Amino acid sequence: MSFEFTIQNLKFKIAKAAVFAACLTPLYCLAYFAFTDNLGANPIEVITHWTGDATIIFLLITLAVTPLRKTTGWNDAVKFRRLLGLFAFFYACLHFMTYVWLDQFFDFRGIVKDVAKRPFITVGFASFILLIPLALTSTAAMVRRLGKRWQQLHRLVYFAAAGGVIHYWWLVKKDIRWPLAFGVVLALLLAFRAAVRWSARQPSRPFAAAAEKQ
Ligand code: HEM
């Protein structure tokens, strides 16, 4: 192992630890609010909103990694994608557990009824279910084992993010600015992906190299 390789490795480990610590920011904030008694009159609502926002934001950041890599040539960005995706799942679990535990007190009959009755809960639940196989197959061993099918499976993340945006859109009463903003970001990310695929099929293939790496 060369000295240069060891330094590179160490730098990457430090960067990864820094990204990991940064990804915990929503959790630090919630813990700070809780310890300083600043969760307001309805703490469950605040926790639900913070964890829901963190889930959709991390899903969009994860989806932005490939466009960022292709537009800037910063190939190392892809090394952080799995970590970011797992944080999206982590916040989705916290969001779901807030609902199951603090909101519904493990009343599973009530939960089933709620999922069937309220469309925004139905869509949120479906998005959460879609994230489970993605988290379970995120290991390097599963990437190798599934081969091309891994990429096909992981396209589900677009559906999970779209479901998250619809879930948010349907739950807001009047002010649609935030779900609209998240929807626009998701649409741009999808448009980028479509443009890369379309250009790969053109005879001149201007983005062919980028598309092949997809
Ligand atoms: C990928 C999955 C999901 C995403 C991305 C997501 C995202 C969000 C977002 C962004 C909010 C609004 C936060 C705000 O107002 O600032 C929210 C609220 C909420 N979510 Fe989710 N969510 C997901 C799954 C779920 C699931 C599985 C449930 C329960 C079964 C759920 C129940 C709720 C509830 C009860 C609210 C608050 C509604 C209200 O204020 O009346 N979500 N979610």
Distance CA(178)–CA(204), nearest Å, equals 39
Ligand 1: atom nearest CA of 179 is 10
pLDDT of residue 73: 95
What is residue 64's predicted lDDT score, i.e. its pLDDT?
98
pLDDT tens, position by position, for the chain (214 residues)? 577 778 888 999 999 999 999 999 999 999 999 999 999 999 999 999 999 999 999 999 999 999 999 999 999 999 999 999 999 999 999 999 999 999 999 999 999 999 999 999 999 999 999 999 999 999 999 999 999 999 999 999 999 999 999 999 999 988 999 999 999 999 999 999 999 989 888 886 655 555 555 5
* Distance between Cα 97 and ligand 1 center (Å): 11
What number of other Cβ atoms are within 10 A of residue 189's Cβ? 18
- Start-to-end CA distance of the chain, whole Å, equals 30
Residue list, ligand 1 pocket, CB within 6 Å: 48-49, 52-53, 55-56, 92, 95-96, 99, 121, 124-125, 127-128, 131, 160, 164, 167-168, 171
Q: Whose CA is nearest to atom 21 of ligand 1?
A: 52
Give domain limits for the chain: 3-212
The pLDDT value given to residue 210: 53
DSSP 3-state assignment of 213? coil
Which residue of 46, 55, 112, 165 sits with most ligand 1 atoms within 8 Å of its CB, as the best mutation to test the pocket? 55
Give, using CA atoms, the residue closest to atom 42 of ligand 1: 124
Q: What pLDDT, on a 0 to 100 scale, did the predictor assign at position 202?
A: 85
CA–CA separation, 92 and 164 (whole Å): 10
Residue bearing tokens 């730098």: 11
What are the structure tokens assigned to 131, written together?
């994230």
Give residue 89's pLDDT.
Answer: 98
- Its pTM stands at 0.92
pLDDT the model gives residue 212: 52
How far does the centroid of ligand 1 lie from the alpha carbon of residue 21, in Å? 24
